[in-house]
Amino acid sequence: MTSEPSTDTGTLFLHPDRNLAMELVRATEAAAIRAWPFIGRGDKNAADGAAVDAMRKFLGTVNFDGVIVIGEGEKDRAPMLFNGETVGNRRGPACDIAVDPIDGTSLTAAGRQNAISVIAVSDRGTMLDASSVFYMDKIVSGPAGHGVLDLERPIGDNIRALAKALGKPVGEMTVAVLDRPRHIQLIDDIRATGAGTRLMLDGDVAGGINAARYETRIDLCVGIGGSPEGITTACAIKALGGFMQARLAPGTDDEREKAKDAGLDLDAVMDANQMVKGDNSFFVATGVTDGGLVDGVRRKGPIIRTESIVLRSRSGTIRRVIAEHLVEKWLDEVPAS
């Protein structure tokens, strides 16, 4: 896909390049820093609102022509960063954008771990628009899952097959799953194999990524989570060389009709390459609270410290960005430690 040439420069930009990722980090850092004063304060809407406002302002300065395919969306009734909104200064490549200023607003409000600020980017027209269906069923692992796992198989069979591929006893397997009433039977089935569970209160993007990373204790991430989070996770999985399958899981007849009108196949089991086409996707995340993926925002005297992770599918690289920000350049809202 190509973008329109900038009227200011006359230059034709074709695809997002590696420099774009570092610009996007500024937006996730801003969202995380603005959300930080609200950690543990019990007001998830205030935290989310601050993060949304900060991310949107920074995205407006980025050299790209972005259209939000996965945004705050109808579910959050967001006035900004909504599906279909254009972002960027329109002087760069044409991109599809997935944003989640805080994946884990409830975690942030409660002061719990694993809240992150996220942006994913791919070439224009390559990111699946699944906004008409709020949820999808997914299974995610590292590279060992290729040719081994299948979303349509019983969870016990998948756990045993992956354990064999990893060369480890089933009893040493750890499976991440959202702690929701809809997963009661799934959790029982996982434990019946002898595997352990890592129950997530929220934040299944981090759960999926950790399942695909070799140095974590999570071997598999399964269950029904948000479809926006699923598409975002797919961008990261492509960069990690991991395995992912998903199927849309509408909860109402109205959602089924909307999906049908949007041309979505509710029976299709999709892999990461079908959710995000091509080999030029980016995933950027900054920690809001501490977690297994990245550390959260911290203040050290006059400095605010952030940690971010940057993944790029084309090069298959993982970069960590540690940044120190002068408090005086940022905000009056950041309290002294």
> Do 148 and 110 belong to one domain?
no
The amino acid occupying position 152 is: E
> Do 166 and 218 belong to one domain?
yes
Residue 167 is labelled as binding a ligand:
no
Residues 15-20 have a mean pLDDT of 66
Residue 126 is labelled as binding a ligand:
no
Helical (H) or strand (E) element with 286: strand 282-287
Which range is least confidently modeled, 79-83, 159-163, 178-182, 296-300? Answer: 79-83
Domain with 149, as residue range(s), is 135-275
Residue 101 is labelled as binding a ligand:
no
> Do 165 and 262 belong to one domain?
yes
CB crowding 266-277: b at 16 or more within 10 Å, else e = eeeebbbbebbb
- What pTM was estimated for this model as a whole? 0.87
**How much is the pLDDT for 331?**
58
CA distances 154 to 133, 158, 190, 193, 197, Å, are 24, 7, 10, 11, 16
Within a domain: 335: no
Within a domain: 116: yes
pLDDT digits (tens, 9 = 90+) for 33-44: 999 999 999 999
Which residue matches tokens 């979505």? 264
Residues 165-173 have a mean pLDDT of 97
How far apart are the C-alpha atoms of 236 and 223, rounded to whole Å?
18
Q: Which of 259, 275, 291 is the last residue of a domain?
A: 275
116 touches 205 (CB < 8 A): yes
Residue 48 is labelled as binding a ligand:
yes
Residues 320-334 have a mean pLDDT of 79
What share of the chain has pLDDT > 70, as a percent? 91
Confidence band of 193 (pLDDT split at 50, 70, 90): very high
Residues 19-27 have a mean pLDDT of 87
Residue 229 is labelled as binding a ligand:
yes
Residue 152 is labelled as binding a ligand:
no
Does the pLDDT of residue 332 top 80, yes or no? Answer: no
Residues 179-194 have a mean pLDDT of 98
- 90-99, 117-126, 148-157, 324-333: which has the highest mean pLDDT? 148-157
Kindly give the interhelix angle for 227-240 and 204-212, rounded to the nearest 10 degrees. Answer: 20
**What is the SS3 assignment for 222?**
strand
Residue 105 is labelled as binding a ligand:
yes
Residue 154 is labelled as binding a ligand:
no
Residue 255 is labelled as binding a ligand:
no
> Which residues is 318 bridged to in the sheet?
311
Phi, psi of 320 (to 5 degrees): -110, 135
Does the pLDDT of residue 11 top 70, yes or no? Answer: no
Within a domain: 3: no
How far apart are the C-alpha atoms of 312 and 123, rounded to whole Å?
13
> Do 57 and 162 belong to one domain?
no
Does the pLDDT of residue 295 top 90, yes or no? Answer: yes
Does the pLDDT of residue 8 top 50, yes or no? Answer: no
> Do 201 and 288 belong to one domain?
no
Residue 103 is labelled as binding a ligand:
yes
Within a domain: 234: yes
Residue 181 is labelled as binding a ligand:
yes
Residue 182 is labelled as binding a ligand:
yes
Total domain count for the chain? 2
80 touches 52 (CB < 8 A): yes
pLDDT digits (tens, 9 = 90+) for 92-107: 889 999 999 999 999 9
What share of the chain has pLDDT > 90, as a percent? 68
**How much is the pLDDT for 23?**
87
> Do 26 and 122 belong to one domain?
yes
Residue 189 is labelled as binding a ligand:
no
Residue 142 is labelled as binding a ligand:
no
